[in-house]
Chain A
Amino acid sequence: MKQILDFNISNSLLNISFEGDYLLFSNDNAKGKVFALIKNNLQGIVLSAQALGKWDSTLLSFIFEIEKRARELSIPVRYNAFPDGLINLINLAFSVDRKPSPVDTGKAGLLESIGSWGVSVYHGIKSGLSFMGKTFNAVFRSMFGRVVMRSLDFAAVLEECGYKALPIVSLISFMVGLILAFVGAVQLKTFGAQIYVASLVTIGMTRIMGAIMTGIIMAGRTGASYAAVIGTMQVNEEIDALKTMGINQFDFLVLPRIIALSIAMPILTMWADFMGMLGGGFVGVVMLDIPLQKYWEMSVAAITLNNFFVGIFHGLIFGIVIAVCGCYYGISCGRNADAVGTSTTKAVVSAIVWMIVMTGFITLACEVLDI
Chain B
Amino acid sequence: MMKNDVKIKAVGLKIGYGDFVLLKDADFVINKHDIFIIMGGSGCGKSSMLRVLTGLVKPLEGKIFVDDVDFLAADTITRNQIMQTSGILYQSGALFSSMTLAENIALPLQLYRNYSPEEIREIAALKLALVGLKGFEDYYPSEISGGMKKRAGLARALALDPDVVYFDEPSAGLDPVSSKLLDDLILDINHNLGTTIVIVTHELSSIFAVGNNSIFLDGETKSILARGNPKELLKNPPHEKVFQFLTRGGEKNA
Q: Which residues of A does B touch, CB under 8 Å?
A: 97-98, 101, 148, 150, 153, 156, 232-233, 236-238, 240-241, 243-247
Q: Shortest distance in angstroms between B34's beta carbon and chain A's nearest beta carbon?
A: 20
Q: How many Å lie between the Cα of A97 and that of B244 in the bound state?
A: 13
Candidates B83, B156, B220; contact of A246 at CB < 8 Å: B83
Instruction: Give the chain A neighbours of B229 by CB distance below 8 A.
Output: none
Check B219–A245 contact: CB distance below 8 A: no
Those of B82-108 within 8 Å (CB) of chain A: 83-84, 86, 88, 90-92, 94-98, 107-108
Nearest residue in B to A101 (C-beta to C-beta)? Answer: B20
Check A238–B56 contact: CB distance below 8 A: no
Q: A243-B55, A244-B83, A246-B80 are in contact. List 14 more A-B contacts (CB 8 A).
A: A98-B43, A101-B20, A237-B94, A238-B94, A238-B96, A241-B90, A241-B96, A243-B56, A244-B88, A245-B108, A245-B111, A246-B83, A247-B107, A247-B111
Candidates A148, A233, A238, A244; contact of B54 at CB < 8 Å: A244
Nearest residue in A to B86 (C-beta to C-beta)? Answer: A244
Check A238–B220 contact: CB distance below 8 A: no
Interface: B132 (CB within 8 A): no
Check B111–A236 contact: CB distance below 8 A: no
Residues A97 and B219 in contact in the complex (CB < 8 Å), given A238-B94, A241-B94? yes
Q: How many Å lie between the Cα of A153 and that of B41 in the bound state?
A: 41
Q: Shortest distance in angstroms between B83's beta carbon and chain A's nearest beta carbon?
A: 5
Candidates B44, B80, B92, B220; contact of A236 at CB < 8 Å: B92
Residues A245 and B83 in contact in the complex (CB < 8 Å), given A238-B96, A238-B97? yes
Q: Shortest distance in angstroms between B125's beta carbon and chain A's nearest beta carbon?
A: 19
Q: How many Å lie between the Cα of A148 and that of B107 in the bound state?
A: 10
Check A240–B56 contact: CB distance below 8 A: yes
Q: Shortest distance in angstroms between A62's beta carbon and chain B's nearest beta carbon?
A: 28
Residues A238 and B86 in contact in the complex (CB < 8 Å), given A97-B219, A98-B43, A148-B111? no
Q: How many Å lie between the Cα of A98 and that of B43 in the bound state?
A: 9
Check A97–B220 contact: CB distance below 8 A: yes
Instruction: Give the chain A neighbours of B79 by CB distance below 8 A.
Output: 246
Q: How many Å lie between the Cα of A150 and that of B156 in the bound state?
A: 17
* Secondary structure call for the B interface: loop
Instruction: Give the chain A neighbours of B112 by CB distance below 8 A.
Output: 246
Instruction: Give the chain A neighbours of B20 by CB distance below 8 A.
Output: 101
Q: Which residues of B does A touch, CB under 8 Å?
A: 20, 41, 43-44, 51, 54-56, 79-80, 83-84, 86, 88, 90-92, 94-98, 107-108, 111-112, 156, 219-220
Q: How many Å lie between the Cα of A191 and that of B55 in the bound state?
A: 72
Residues A238 and B80 in contact in the complex (CB < 8 Å), given A243-B56, A244-B56, A245-B108? no
Candidates A98, A156, A240; contact of B219 at CB < 8 Å: A98
Nearest residue in B to A97 (C-beta to C-beta)? Answer: B41
Nearest residue in B to A99 (C-beta to C-beta)? Answer: B220
Q: Shortest distance in angstroms between A21's beta carbon and chain B's nearest beta carbon?
A: 34
Q: How many Å lie between the Cα of A126 and that of B86 in the bound state?
A: 32
Instruction: Give the chain B neighbours of A243 by CB distance below 8 A.
Output: 55-56
Nearest residue in A to B84 (C-beta to C-beta)? Answer: A246
Nearest residue in B to A148 (C-beta to C-beta)? Answer: B111
Check A241–B41 contact: CB distance below 8 A: no
Check A98–B220 contact: CB distance below 8 A: yes
Q: Shortest distance in angstroms between A314's beta carbon and chain B's nearest beta carbon?
A: 31
Q: Shortest distance in angstroms between B43's beta carbon and chain A's nearest beta carbon?
A: 7
Q: How many Å lie between the Cα of A128 and that of B96 in the bound state?
A: 26
- Could you jot down 25 A-B contacts, CB within 8 Å? A97-B41, A98-B43, A98-B44, A98-B219, A98-B220, A153-B98, A232-B97, A233-B96, A236-B94, A238-B94, A238-B97, A240-B51, A240-B88, A241-B88, A243-B55, A243-B56, A244-B56, A244-B83, A244-B86, A244-B88, A245-B83, A245-B107, A245-B108, A245-B111, A247-B111
Instruction: Give the chain B neighbours of A148 by CB distance below 8 A.
Output: 111
Instruction: Give the chain A neighbours of B80 by CB distance below 8 A.
Output: 246
Instruction: Give the chain A neighbours of B107 by CB distance below 8 A.
Output: 150, 245, 247
Which of B79, B111, B156 gathers the greatest number of chain A CB atoms within 10 Å?
B111
Check A240–B220 contact: CB distance below 8 A: no
Nearest residue in A to B104 (C-beta to C-beta)? Answer: A241
Q: How many Å lie between the Cα of A241 and that of B55 in the bound state?
A: 11
Check A238–B95 contact: CB distance below 8 A: yes
Q: How many Å lie between the Cα of A246 and that of B77 in the bound state?
A: 9
Check B90–A240 contact: CB distance below 8 A: yes
Instruction: Give the chain B neighbours of A153 by CB distance below 8 A.
Output: 98
Q: Shortest distance in angstroms between A219's beta carbon and chain B's nearest beta carbon?
A: 22
Nearest residue in A to B88 (C-beta to C-beta)? Answer: A244
Q: How many Å lie between the Cα of A243 and that of B86 in the bound state?
A: 12
Instruction: Give the chain A neighbours of B84 by CB distance below 8 A.
Output: 245-246
Check B55–A244 contact: CB distance below 8 A: yes
Q: Shortest distance in angstroms between A235's beta carbon and chain B's nearest beta carbon?
A: 9
Instruction: Give the chain A neighbours of B54 by CB distance below 8 A.
Output: 244
Instruction: Give the chain A neighbours of B43 by CB distance below 8 A.
Output: 98
Q: How many Å lie between the Cα of A245 and that of B81 in the bound state?
A: 10
Q: How many Å lie between the Cα of A340 and that of B56 in the bound state?
A: 21
Candidates B91, B98, B111; contact of A237 at CB < 8 Å: B91
Instruction: Give the chain A neighbours of B51 by CB distance below 8 A.
Output: 240
Q: How many Å lie between the Cα of A246 and that of B97 in the bound state?
A: 19
Q: How many Å lie between the Cα of A241 and that of B88 in the bound state?
A: 7
Nearest residue in A to B82 (C-beta to C-beta)? Answer: A246
Instruction: Give the chain A neighbours of B91 by CB distance below 8 A.
Output: 237
Q: Shortest distance in angstroms between A238's beta carbon and chain B's nearest beta carbon?
A: 5
Q: How many Å lie between the Cα of A244 and that of B79 in the bound state?
A: 10
Instruction: Give the chain B neighbours of A232 by CB distance below 8 A.
Output: 97
Q: How many Å lie between the Cα of A246 and that of B83 in the bound state?
A: 6
